[in-house]
Amino acid sequence: MFLSTRFVPAGVLCVLVFVGSAGCACEEESVDGPTWYQDVAPIVSEHCSGCHSPGNIAPFSLLTYDDAEAVAGWMAQQVEDGLMPPWGAQDTDECATAGPWQHDPRLTDAEIDTLVEWSANGMPEGDVEDAASVPSPPSTALDSVSATLAPDVSYEATGTTDELICFSLDPEVDSTVWINGFQVNPGNPEVVHHVLLFADPGGLSEAQVGAEGYYPCFGGVGLNSATLVGAWVPGSLPTEYPEDSGLAIEPGDRMVMQVHYHPTGGDHAPDLTTVDVRWVESEPQHYALMSLQGNASSELGGLQPGPGDEGEVEFRIPAEAQGHTETILAELGIGPNMDVRLWAVAPHMHLVGVDMKISVVRESPGPNENSQECLVHVPRWDFDWQRIYQYDLPTDELPRVEAGDTLELRCTYDNTLDNPGLVRALDEEGVSAPQDVYLGEGTLDEMCIGGFGAVVL
Ligand code: HEC
Protein backbone atom coordinates (compact mmCIF):
# COMPACT_ATOMS: atom_id res chain seq x y z
CA MET A 1 0.00 0.00 0.00
CA PHE A 2 2.89 2.30 0.66
CA LEU A 3 4.05 1.96 -2.94
CA SER A 4 1.15 4.10 -4.08
CA THR A 5 3.03 7.28 -3.27
CA ARG A 6 5.82 6.22 -5.56
CA PHE A 7 6.23 7.93 -8.88
CA VAL A 8 9.01 8.36 -11.37
CA PRO A 9 10.01 11.90 -12.24
CA ALA A 10 11.74 12.39 -15.58
CA GLY A 11 15.15 13.14 -14.07
CA VAL A 12 15.59 9.67 -12.67
CA LEU A 13 13.71 7.70 -15.27
CA CYS A 14 16.80 6.24 -16.87
CA VAL A 15 18.15 5.07 -13.53
CA LEU A 16 15.03 3.02 -12.99
CA VAL A 17 14.80 1.76 -16.55
CA PHE A 18 18.33 0.49 -16.46
CA VAL A 19 18.23 -1.10 -13.03
CA GLY A 20 20.00 -4.43 -13.26
CA SER A 21 21.44 -3.73 -16.66
CA ALA A 22 25.19 -3.80 -16.96
CA GLY A 23 25.28 -1.11 -19.56
CA CYS A 24 23.61 1.74 -17.68
CA ALA A 25 24.88 4.98 -19.05
CA CYS A 26 23.00 7.19 -16.64
CA GLU A 27 24.56 10.38 -15.50
CA GLU A 28 24.23 10.21 -11.74
CA GLU A 29 24.86 13.95 -11.51
CA SER A 30 21.53 14.51 -13.22
CA VAL A 31 19.76 13.39 -10.04
CA ASP A 32 18.47 16.43 -8.22
CA GLY A 33 17.54 16.19 -4.60
CA PRO A 34 18.51 13.66 -1.99
CA THR A 35 19.92 10.24 -2.86
CA TRP A 36 20.42 7.13 -0.76
CA TYR A 37 24.20 7.13 -0.71
CA GLN A 38 24.67 10.85 -0.35
CA ASP A 39 21.86 11.85 2.02
CA VAL A 40 19.52 9.14 3.27
CA ALA A 41 21.83 6.32 4.42
CA PRO A 42 23.56 8.43 7.11
CA ILE A 43 20.19 9.46 8.59
CA VAL A 44 18.84 5.93 8.61
CA SER A 45 22.04 4.59 10.11
CA GLU A 46 21.97 7.11 12.93
CA HIS A 47 18.26 7.07 13.73
CA CYS A 48 16.86 3.72 12.64
CA SER A 49 19.46 0.96 12.42
CA GLY A 50 19.62 0.35 16.19
CA CYS A 51 16.30 -1.46 15.77
CA HIS A 52 15.89 -1.91 12.00
CA SER A 53 18.79 -4.29 11.41
CA PRO A 54 18.87 -8.08 11.11
CA GLY A 55 18.11 -9.89 14.38
CA ASN A 56 16.81 -6.77 16.13
CA ILE A 57 13.34 -5.87 17.40
CA ALA A 58 11.96 -4.10 14.33
CA PRO A 59 10.18 -6.31 11.79
CA PHE A 60 12.43 -5.34 8.86
CA SER A 61 15.93 -4.06 8.24
CA LEU A 62 16.72 -0.67 6.74
CA LEU A 63 20.47 -1.13 6.35
CA THR A 64 20.77 -1.34 2.57
CA TYR A 65 19.38 0.58 -0.36
CA ASP A 66 17.21 -2.38 -1.37
CA ASP A 67 15.81 -2.68 2.17
CA ALA A 68 14.90 0.99 2.40
CA GLU A 69 13.74 1.45 -1.17
CA ALA A 70 11.08 -1.20 -0.67
CA VAL A 71 9.43 0.70 2.21
CA ALA A 72 10.40 4.30 1.42
CA GLY A 73 6.85 5.68 1.31
CA TRP A 74 6.10 4.05 4.63
CA MET A 75 9.30 5.42 6.17
CA ALA A 76 8.47 8.92 4.98
CA GLN A 77 4.99 8.68 6.42
CA GLN A 78 6.17 7.35 9.77
CA VAL A 79 8.80 10.04 10.25
CA GLU A 80 6.46 12.80 9.09
CA ASP A 81 3.84 11.65 11.57
CA GLY A 82 6.47 11.55 14.31
CA LEU A 83 5.84 7.84 14.93
CA MET A 84 9.37 6.68 14.12
CA PRO A 85 11.80 6.61 15.78
CA PRO A 86 9.55 5.94 18.77
CA TRP A 87 9.72 8.82 21.28
CA GLY A 88 6.80 10.23 23.25
CA ALA A 89 7.95 13.46 24.94
CA GLN A 90 6.97 16.57 23.00
CA ASP A 91 6.94 20.29 23.61
CA THR A 92 3.31 21.30 23.07
CA ASP A 93 1.02 24.30 23.51
CA GLU A 94 0.64 23.37 27.14
CA CYS A 95 4.16 22.20 27.81
CA ALA A 96 7.56 23.79 27.28
CA THR A 97 10.10 21.62 29.08
CA ALA A 98 13.30 22.73 30.78
CA GLY A 99 15.71 21.75 28.09
CA PRO A 100 16.84 19.16 25.59
CA TRP A 101 16.60 15.46 26.41
CA GLN A 102 19.54 13.09 26.55
CA HIS A 103 19.70 10.53 23.75
CA ASP A 104 16.84 12.21 21.89
CA PRO A 105 16.53 10.09 18.73
CA ARG A 106 14.17 12.41 16.84
CA LEU A 107 14.98 13.61 13.34
CA THR A 108 15.40 17.30 12.61
CA ASP A 109 12.87 18.90 10.27
CA ALA A 110 15.55 18.97 7.57
CA GLU A 111 16.18 15.23 7.99
CA ILE A 112 12.45 14.51 7.77
CA ASP A 113 12.25 16.61 4.59
CA THR A 114 15.16 14.63 3.14
CA LEU A 115 13.38 11.30 3.66
CA VAL A 116 10.09 12.63 2.33
CA GLU A 117 11.68 14.18 -0.74
CA TRP A 118 13.76 11.09 -1.44
CA SER A 119 10.62 8.95 -1.38
CA ALA A 120 8.60 11.40 -3.49
CA ASN A 121 11.41 11.55 -6.08
CA GLY A 122 11.36 7.80 -6.61
CA MET A 123 14.22 6.85 -4.25
CA PRO A 124 17.32 7.75 -6.30
CA GLU A 125 20.23 5.54 -5.29
CA GLY A 126 23.01 8.05 -6.00
CA ASP A 127 26.65 7.23 -6.54
CA VAL A 128 28.09 4.53 -4.33
CA GLU A 129 31.63 5.63 -5.29
CA ASP A 130 30.94 9.03 -3.76
CA ALA A 131 28.89 7.88 -0.77
CA ALA A 132 28.68 10.11 2.28
CA SER A 133 30.39 8.49 5.23
CA VAL A 134 27.99 6.61 7.44
CA PRO A 135 29.20 7.24 10.98
CA SER A 136 29.65 4.03 12.91
CA PRO A 137 27.11 3.93 15.71
CA PRO A 138 28.39 5.06 19.11
CA SER A 139 29.40 2.27 21.45
CA THR A 140 26.48 1.17 23.61
CA ALA A 141 28.80 -0.35 26.22
CA LEU A 142 28.90 0.98 29.78
CA ASP A 143 32.33 2.06 31.07
CA SER A 144 33.87 0.56 34.21
CA VAL A 145 31.24 -2.12 34.84
CA SER A 146 31.17 -3.23 38.50
CA ALA A 147 28.98 -6.30 38.02
CA THR A 148 26.97 -8.07 35.35
CA LEU A 149 23.72 -9.32 36.83
CA ALA A 150 22.18 -12.33 35.13
CA PRO A 151 19.03 -14.34 35.85
CA ASP A 152 19.48 -18.01 36.76
CA VAL A 153 17.24 -19.12 33.93
CA SER A 154 16.48 -18.04 30.40
CA TYR A 155 12.99 -17.23 29.17
CA GLU A 156 11.36 -18.55 26.04
CA ALA A 157 8.95 -16.06 24.49
CA THR A 158 6.41 -17.85 22.28
CA GLY A 159 3.13 -17.10 20.54
CA THR A 160 2.18 -13.57 19.60
CA THR A 161 1.07 -12.06 22.92
CA ASP A 162 3.36 -9.57 24.62
CA GLU A 163 4.45 -10.53 28.11
CA LEU A 164 6.07 -8.74 31.04
CA ILE A 165 8.34 -10.98 33.05
CA CYS A 166 10.31 -10.11 36.20
CA PHE A 167 13.65 -11.57 37.20
CA SER A 168 15.04 -11.11 40.71
CA LEU A 169 18.77 -10.40 40.51
CA ASP A 170 21.30 -10.50 43.34
CA PRO A 171 23.99 -7.79 43.19
CA GLU A 172 25.88 -9.68 45.95
CA VAL A 173 27.32 -6.63 47.70
CA ASP A 174 28.73 -6.94 51.21
CA SER A 175 28.82 -3.22 51.95
CA THR A 176 26.79 -0.22 50.71
CA VAL A 177 27.46 0.75 47.09
CA TRP A 178 26.07 3.64 45.02
CA ILE A 179 24.86 2.84 41.53
CA ASN A 180 25.55 5.55 38.97
CA GLY A 181 25.03 3.84 35.64
CA PHE A 182 23.75 0.71 33.95
CA GLN A 183 23.23 -0.88 30.59
CA VAL A 184 21.03 -3.76 29.47
CA ASN A 185 22.39 -6.51 27.22
CA PRO A 186 19.42 -8.12 25.46
CA GLY A 187 19.90 -11.90 25.16
CA ASN A 188 17.66 -12.33 22.14
CA PRO A 189 17.18 -8.85 20.63
CA GLU A 190 14.43 -10.22 18.38
CA VAL A 191 12.01 -10.41 21.32
CA VAL A 192 13.27 -8.01 24.01
CA HIS A 193 11.11 -4.94 23.45
CA HIS A 194 12.09 -2.87 26.48
CA VAL A 195 13.38 -3.33 30.02
CA LEU A 196 12.76 -1.54 33.33
CA LEU A 197 15.23 -1.96 36.17
CA PHE A 198 14.23 -1.58 39.84
CA ALA A 199 16.07 -1.58 43.15
CA ASP A 200 14.48 -3.93 45.68
CA PRO A 201 15.41 -2.92 49.25
CA GLY A 202 15.53 -5.98 51.48
CA GLY A 203 15.44 -8.37 48.52
CA LEU A 204 11.68 -9.03 48.78
CA SER A 205 11.40 -10.00 45.12
CA GLU A 206 13.11 -13.31 45.77
CA ALA A 207 9.92 -14.57 47.43
CA GLN A 208 7.85 -13.69 44.34
CA VAL A 209 9.86 -15.95 42.08
CA GLY A 210 8.10 -19.18 41.17
CA ALA A 211 9.59 -22.56 40.37
CA GLU A 212 10.28 -21.33 36.83
CA GLY A 213 12.85 -18.84 38.16
CA TYR A 214 10.89 -15.65 37.29
CA TYR A 215 7.41 -14.19 37.77
CA PRO A 216 4.90 -12.49 35.47
CA CYS A 217 4.47 -8.79 36.29
CA PHE A 218 2.36 -6.71 33.91
CA GLY A 219 1.60 -3.59 35.93
CA GLY A 220 4.57 -3.30 38.23
CA VAL A 221 7.06 -5.54 39.93
CA GLY A 222 4.58 -6.43 42.68
CA LEU A 223 6.46 -4.67 45.51
CA ASN A 224 5.57 -1.32 47.04
CA SER A 225 9.12 -0.87 48.28
CA ALA A 226 10.78 -1.21 44.87
CA THR A 227 12.22 1.94 43.32
CA LEU A 228 12.88 2.51 39.66
CA VAL A 229 16.53 2.65 38.60
CA GLY A 230 16.09 3.15 34.89
CA ALA A 231 14.70 1.99 31.59
CA TRP A 232 16.15 0.62 28.39
CA VAL A 233 14.89 0.42 24.81
CA PRO A 234 16.70 -1.25 21.90
CA GLY A 235 19.69 0.72 20.72
CA SER A 236 19.87 2.82 23.94
CA LEU A 237 23.13 4.21 25.16
CA PRO A 238 23.91 3.41 28.79
CA THR A 239 21.97 5.28 31.48
CA GLU A 240 24.32 7.61 33.36
CA TYR A 241 23.28 9.27 36.61
CA PRO A 242 24.19 12.95 37.17
CA GLU A 243 27.81 13.62 37.98
CA ASP A 244 29.06 12.47 41.36
CA SER A 245 25.68 11.04 42.37
CA GLY A 246 24.53 7.53 43.10
CA LEU A 247 21.65 5.37 44.28
CA ALA A 248 22.42 3.35 47.38
CA ILE A 249 22.24 -0.45 47.36
CA GLU A 250 22.71 -2.16 50.72
CA PRO A 251 23.79 -5.71 51.45
CA GLY A 252 20.74 -7.97 51.08
CA ASP A 253 19.05 -5.69 48.52
CA ARG A 254 18.21 -7.19 45.16
CA MET A 255 17.38 -5.72 41.76
CA VAL A 256 14.36 -6.56 39.64
CA MET A 257 14.61 -6.63 35.89
CA GLN A 258 11.22 -6.36 34.19
CA VAL A 259 11.45 -7.48 30.57
CA HIS A 260 8.74 -6.70 28.01
CA TYR A 261 8.78 -9.57 25.51
CA HIS A 262 7.31 -9.06 22.06
CA PRO A 263 7.25 -12.50 20.37
CA THR A 264 5.99 -12.56 16.80
CA GLY A 265 5.03 -16.21 16.39
CA GLY A 266 7.26 -19.04 15.24
CA ASP A 267 10.34 -20.12 17.14
CA HIS A 268 12.41 -17.60 19.02
CA ALA A 269 15.67 -18.64 20.68
CA PRO A 270 15.52 -18.47 24.51
CA ASP A 271 16.41 -15.09 25.97
CA LEU A 272 18.96 -14.49 28.70
CA THR A 273 19.08 -10.73 29.13
CA THR A 274 21.69 -9.39 31.55
CA VAL A 275 22.37 -5.99 33.13
CA ASP A 276 25.76 -4.32 33.49
CA VAL A 277 25.77 -2.12 36.58
CA ARG A 278 28.38 0.38 37.65
CA TRP A 279 28.71 1.54 41.24
CA VAL A 280 31.13 3.34 43.51
CA GLU A 281 32.03 2.12 46.97
CA SER A 282 32.62 5.50 48.59
CA GLU A 283 29.75 7.84 49.24
CA PRO A 284 29.15 10.24 46.31
CA GLN A 285 28.60 13.94 46.81
CA HIS A 286 24.92 13.75 45.83
CA TYR A 287 22.26 11.18 46.54
CA ALA A 288 20.30 10.17 43.50
CA LEU A 289 16.98 8.44 43.71
CA MET A 290 14.04 7.63 41.53
CA SER A 291 10.79 8.17 43.37
CA LEU A 292 7.48 6.79 42.09
CA GLN A 293 4.56 9.15 42.71
CA GLY A 294 0.95 9.01 41.67
CA ASN A 295 -1.61 6.20 41.49
CA ALA A 296 -3.55 7.90 44.24
CA SER A 297 -6.94 6.63 45.29
CA SER A 298 -9.45 8.55 47.36
CA GLU A 299 -8.18 6.75 50.49
CA LEU A 300 -4.55 7.65 49.88
CA GLY A 301 -5.28 11.30 49.09
CA GLY A 302 -3.91 13.33 46.23
CA LEU A 303 -6.58 12.28 43.75
CA GLN A 304 -8.44 15.35 42.51
CA PRO A 305 -12.15 15.55 41.76
CA GLY A 306 -12.71 14.69 38.12
CA PRO A 307 -15.29 13.93 35.48
CA GLY A 308 -17.53 10.97 36.14
CA ASP A 309 -17.03 10.93 39.91
CA GLU A 310 -20.16 9.58 41.53
CA GLY A 311 -20.34 11.00 45.03
CA GLU A 312 -16.83 10.69 46.38
CA VAL A 313 -13.66 11.45 44.45
CA GLU A 314 -12.80 8.24 42.64
CA PHE A 315 -10.35 6.84 40.11
CA ARG A 316 -12.76 5.37 37.62
CA ILE A 317 -12.67 5.59 33.84
CA PRO A 318 -16.25 4.93 32.77
CA ALA A 319 -16.84 2.56 29.86
CA GLU A 320 -17.14 4.51 26.59
CA ALA A 321 -15.52 7.65 28.09
CA GLN A 322 -13.23 9.53 25.74
CA GLY A 323 -10.82 12.25 26.88
CA HIS A 324 -11.42 11.23 30.49
CA THR A 325 -8.86 12.75 32.85
CA GLU A 326 -7.66 11.82 36.31
CA THR A 327 -5.44 14.35 38.07
CA ILE A 328 -3.22 13.48 40.99
CA LEU A 329 -1.19 15.75 43.23
CA ALA A 330 1.85 14.39 45.04
CA GLU A 331 4.76 15.61 47.09
CA LEU A 332 8.31 14.38 47.03
CA GLY A 333 8.73 14.61 50.80
CA ILE A 334 11.57 17.12 50.66
CA GLY A 335 12.90 18.54 53.92
CA PRO A 336 13.19 22.29 54.55
CA ASN A 337 16.16 24.08 52.94
CA MET A 338 16.99 21.15 50.68
CA ASP A 339 17.94 21.91 47.10
CA VAL A 340 16.62 19.02 45.05
CA ARG A 341 16.87 18.82 41.27
CA LEU A 342 14.94 16.58 38.91
CA TRP A 343 17.19 14.90 36.36
CA ALA A 344 14.68 12.47 34.87
CA VAL A 345 10.98 11.90 34.62
CA ALA A 346 9.13 8.78 33.54
CA PRO A 347 5.40 8.89 32.84
CA HIS A 348 3.57 5.58 33.23
CA MET A 349 0.07 4.41 32.37
CA HIS A 350 -1.31 1.19 30.84
CA LEU A 351 -3.23 0.59 27.61
CA VAL A 352 -6.29 2.81 28.13
CA GLY A 353 -4.08 5.88 28.56
CA VAL A 354 -3.62 8.26 25.62
CA ASP A 355 -1.98 11.44 26.99
CA MET A 356 0.05 12.22 30.09
CA LYS A 357 1.46 15.49 31.40
CA ILE A 358 3.50 16.05 34.54
CA SER A 359 4.22 19.46 36.08
CA VAL A 360 5.67 20.90 39.23
CA VAL A 361 3.66 23.59 41.04
CA ARG A 362 5.95 25.77 43.15
CA GLU A 363 4.93 27.36 46.39
CA SER A 364 7.56 30.11 46.20
CA PRO A 365 9.15 30.27 42.75
CA GLY A 366 12.67 31.70 42.46
CA PRO A 367 13.42 34.76 40.29
CA ASN A 368 13.87 32.75 37.08
CA GLU A 369 11.26 30.13 37.83
CA ASN A 370 7.63 29.78 36.93
CA SER A 371 5.09 28.94 39.57
CA GLN A 372 4.06 26.06 37.33
CA GLU A 373 6.62 24.28 35.18
CA CYS A 374 5.84 21.43 32.82
CA LEU A 375 8.29 18.55 33.31
CA VAL A 376 7.15 16.30 30.48
CA HIS A 377 4.20 15.88 28.15
CA VAL A 378 3.52 12.73 26.15
CA PRO A 379 0.56 13.76 23.98
CA ARG A 380 0.40 10.40 22.19
CA TRP A 381 1.00 7.82 24.90
CA ASP A 382 2.21 4.44 23.68
CA PHE A 383 2.49 1.74 26.34
CA ASP A 384 5.02 -0.11 24.22
CA TRP A 385 7.46 2.78 24.04
CA GLN A 386 7.61 4.09 27.54
CA ARG A 387 10.86 5.69 28.54
CA ILE A 388 12.66 7.56 31.24
CA TYR A 389 13.21 11.03 29.86
CA GLN A 390 16.46 12.45 31.15
CA TYR A 391 17.28 16.17 30.83
CA ASP A 392 20.47 17.02 28.98
CA LEU A 393 21.42 19.88 31.31
CA PRO A 394 24.15 20.60 33.86
CA THR A 395 23.00 19.66 37.36
CA ASP A 396 22.52 23.25 38.52
CA GLU A 397 20.21 24.01 35.58
CA LEU A 398 17.88 21.08 36.22
CA PRO A 399 14.30 21.85 37.34
CA ARG A 400 14.30 22.58 41.07
CA VAL A 401 11.84 21.32 43.64
CA GLU A 402 11.68 22.22 47.30
CA ALA A 403 9.58 21.60 50.37
CA GLY A 404 5.99 22.65 49.73
CA ASP A 405 6.13 22.11 45.97
CA THR A 406 3.57 19.81 44.42
CA LEU A 407 3.84 17.44 41.51
CA GLU A 408 0.79 17.37 39.29
CA LEU A 409 0.11 14.32 37.14
CA ARG A 410 -2.64 14.62 34.56
CA CYS A 411 -3.59 11.40 32.82
CA THR A 412 -6.03 11.20 29.94
CA TYR A 413 -7.78 7.98 28.91
CA ASP A 414 -9.85 6.73 26.01
CA ASN A 415 -12.08 3.86 27.10
CA THR A 416 -13.66 3.36 23.67
CA LEU A 417 -12.95 1.05 20.77
CA ASP A 418 -11.36 4.03 18.96
CA ASN A 419 -8.33 3.43 21.17
CA PRO A 420 -6.15 0.64 19.73
CA GLY A 421 -4.60 0.17 23.18
CA LEU A 422 -7.99 -0.62 24.69
CA VAL A 423 -8.81 -2.98 21.82
CA ARG A 424 -5.60 -4.84 22.58
CA ALA A 425 -6.30 -4.96 26.34
CA LEU A 426 -9.85 -6.27 25.78
CA ASP A 427 -8.49 -8.85 23.38
CA GLU A 428 -5.80 -10.01 25.78
CA GLU A 429 -8.34 -10.33 28.59
CA GLY A 430 -11.01 -11.97 26.41
CA VAL A 431 -13.52 -9.18 27.13
CA SER A 432 -15.84 -8.07 24.32
CA ALA A 433 -16.87 -4.51 25.25
CA PRO A 434 -15.38 -1.58 27.19
CA GLN A 435 -16.00 -1.76 30.93
CA ASP A 436 -15.31 0.69 33.76
CA VAL A 437 -11.58 0.77 34.45
CA TYR A 438 -10.08 1.26 37.92
CA LEU A 439 -6.65 1.66 39.44
CA GLY A 440 -4.71 -1.61 39.52
CA GLU A 441 -1.95 -3.75 38.13
CA GLY A 442 -3.84 -5.81 35.52
CA THR A 443 -3.99 -5.34 31.77
CA LEU A 444 -7.49 -3.87 32.03
CA ASP A 445 -6.64 -1.72 35.06
CA GLU A 446 -5.01 1.66 34.81
CA MET A 447 -2.29 3.66 36.43
CA CYS A 448 -1.30 7.31 36.56
CA ILE A 449 2.15 7.33 38.03
CA GLY A 450 5.46 9.01 37.39
CA GLY A 451 9.05 8.08 38.14
CA PHE A 452 11.00 11.15 39.33
CA GLY A 453 14.77 11.02 39.16
CA ALA A 454 15.91 13.38 41.90
CA VAL A 455 19.35 14.44 43.03
CA VAL A 456 20.07 16.27 46.27
CA LEU A 457 22.53 19.15 45.80
C1 HEC B 1 13.76 1.82 19.23
C2 HEC B 1 13.60 0.98 18.07
C3 HEC B 1 13.25 1.59 16.73
C4 HEC B 1 13.83 2.67 16.10
C5 HEC B 1 15.01 3.52 16.59
C6 HEC B 1 13.13 2.83 14.85
N7 HEC B 1 12.15 1.88 14.72
FE8 HEC B 1 10.82 1.73 13.19
N9 HEC B 1 9.91 0.15 14.16
C10 HEC B 1 10.33 -0.41 15.33
C11 HEC B 1 9.42 -1.51 15.68
C12 HEC B 1 9.55 -2.44 16.88
C13 HEC B 1 8.45 -1.55 14.69
C14 HEC B 1 7.24 -2.50 14.60
C15 HEC B 1 5.99 -1.78 15.02
C16 HEC B 1 6.02 -1.39 16.47
O17 HEC B 1 6.28 -2.24 17.36
O18 HEC B 1 5.79 -0.20 16.77
C19 HEC B 1 8.78 -0.49 13.75
C20 HEC B 1 8.01 -0.18 12.63
C21 HEC B 1 8.40 0.71 11.64
C22 HEC B 1 7.67 0.93 10.42
C23 HEC B 1 6.37 0.26 10.05
C24 HEC B 1 5.24 0.99 10.72
C25 HEC B 1 4.28 0.11 11.41
O26 HEC B 1 3.22 0.64 11.80
O27 HEC B 1 4.54 -1.08 11.66
C28 HEC B 1 8.38 1.85 9.69
C29 HEC B 1 8.04 2.36 8.30
C30 HEC B 1 9.54 2.22 10.47
N31 HEC B 1 9.51 1.52 11.65
C32 HEC B 1 10.49 3.14 10.07
C33 HEC B 1 11.50 3.60 10.92
C34 HEC B 1 12.42 4.64 10.53
C35 HEC B 1 12.44 5.34 9.19
C36 HEC B 1 13.25 4.83 11.60
C37 HEC B 1 14.36 5.86 11.73
C38 HEC B 1 14.08 7.20 11.29
C39 HEC B 1 12.83 3.92 12.65
N40 HEC B 1 11.77 3.19 12.19
C41 HEC B 1 13.42 3.82 13.91
C42 HEC B 1 11.41 -0.03 16.09
C43 HEC B 1 12.19 1.09 15.85
**What pLDDT digit, counting tens, does each position of 426-454 carry?**
998 899 999 999 998 777 899 999 989 99
Average pLDDT (162-167) is: 93
Ligand 1 pocket: which of 39, 40, 45, 51 to mutate (most atoms <8 Å of CB)? 51
Q: Which is nearest to 255 in space by CA: 206, 199, 196?
A: 199
User: Which pLDDT band, with edges at 50, 70 and 90, does 418 fall under?
Assistant: very high
Ligand 1 pocket: which of 5, 52, 184 to mutate (most atoms <8 Å of CB)? 52
85: pLDDT strictly greater than 70 = yes
C-alpha pair distances (Å), 62 with each of 15, 51, 65, 83, 241: 21, 9, 8, 16, 32
Distance CA 301, CA 298 (A): 5
Share of the chain above pLDDT 70, in %: 92
- Evaluate: CB of 57 within 6 angstroms of ligand 1: yes
Average pLDDT (14-33) is: 47
79: pLDDT strictly greater than 50 = yes
- Evaluate: CB of 47 within 6 angstroms of ligand 1: yes
Average pLDDT (7-14) is: 34
Confidence (pLDDT) at 56: 86
- Evaluate: CB of 74 within 6 angstroms of ligand 1: yes
Distance CA 123, CA 133 (A): 19
Residue 394 Cα to ligand 1 middle (Å): 31
Calculate the average pLDDT of the chain. 89
CB 91 within 8 A of CB 97: yes
User: Which pLDDT band, with edges at 50, 70 and 90, does 324 fall under?
Assistant: very high
Q: Which is nearest to 388 in space by CA: 445, 327, 297, 449?
A: 449
Average pLDDT (382-401) is: 91
Confidence (pLDDT) at 310: 84
Average pLDDT (155-167) is: 91
Residue 52 Cα to ligand 1 middle (Å): 7
Residue 425 Cα to ligand 1 middle (Å): 22
Residue 46 Cα to ligand 1 middle (Å): 13
Amino acid at 82: G
CB 299 within 8 A of CB 307: no
For atom 7 of ligand 1, the residue with the nearest CA is: 85
- Evaluate: CB of 105 within 6 angstroms of ligand 1: yes
CB 259 within 8 A of CB 165: yes
Report which ligand 1 atom has the smallest distance to the Cα of 115.
35
Distance CA 15, CA 23 (A): 11
Render pLDDT for 89-114 as a digit per residue (tens, 0 to 9): 999 999 999 889 998 999 999 999 99
Confidence (pLDDT) at 31: 66
Residue 50 Cα to ligand 1 middle (Å): 10
Torsion of CA 292, 343, 274, 255, to 10 degrees: -40
Report which ligand 1 atom has the smallest distance to the Cα of 107.
38
- Evaluate: CB of 85 within 6 angstroms of ligand 1: yes
150: pLDDT strictly greater than 70 = yes
28: pLDDT strictly greater than 50 = no
- Evaluate: CB of 238 within 6 angstroms of ligand 1: no
Report which ligand 1 atom has the smallest distance to the Cα of 262.
17
Share of the chain above pLDDT 90, in %: 68
Residue 135 Cα to ligand 1 middle (Å): 20
- Evaluate: CB of 347 within 6 angstroms of ligand 1: no
For atom 32 of ligand 1, the residue with the nearest CA is: 75
Confidence (pLDDT) at 386: 85
Confidence (pLDDT) at 177: 98
Distance CA 44, CA 222 (A): 39
For atom 42 of ligand 1, the residue with the nearest CA is: 58
Average pLDDT (170-182) is: 97
Confidence (pLDDT) at 298: 64
Confidence (pLDDT) at 223: 86
Residue 63 Cα to ligand 1 middle (Å): 13
Using only the alpha carbons of the chain, give its radius of gyration. 24
Render pLDDT for 114-140 as a digit per residue (tens, 0 to 9): 999 999 999 999 999 999 998 777 788
Confidence (pLDDT) at 300: 63
CB 335 within 8 A of CB 403: yes
Report which ligand 1 atom has the smallest distance to the Cα of 235.
1
CB 316 within 8 A of CB 448: no
Confidence (pLDDT) at 4: 34
Residue 79 Cα to ligand 1 middle (Å): 9
Average pLDDT (50-78) is: 94
Confidence (pLDDT) at 349: 93
Report which ligand 1 atom has the smallest distance to the Cα of 77.
29
For atom 17 of ligand 1, the residue with the nearest CA is: 58
Confidence (pLDDT) at 234: 82
User: Which pLDDT band, with edges at 50, 70 and 90, does 3 fall under?
Assistant: very low
User: Which pLDDT band, with edges at 50, 70 and 90, does 9 fall under?
Assistant: very low
For atom 37 of ligand 1, the residue with the nearest CA is: 48
Q: Tell me which of 18-32, 34-48, 163-177, 411-425 is least confident.
A: 18-32
Residue 84 Cα to ligand 1 middle (Å): 5
**CA 35 to the chain's CA centroid:** 31
Residue 87 Cα to ligand 1 middle (Å): 11
Render pLDDT for 244-266 as a digit per residue (tens, 0 to 9): 999 999 999 999 999 999 888 88
Average pLDDT (47-70) is: 93
Task: Count the alpha carbons within 13 Å of 189 in the hemisphere toward its beta carbon.
Answer: 18
- Most confident segment among 43-52, 309-318, 338-347, 410-419: 410-419
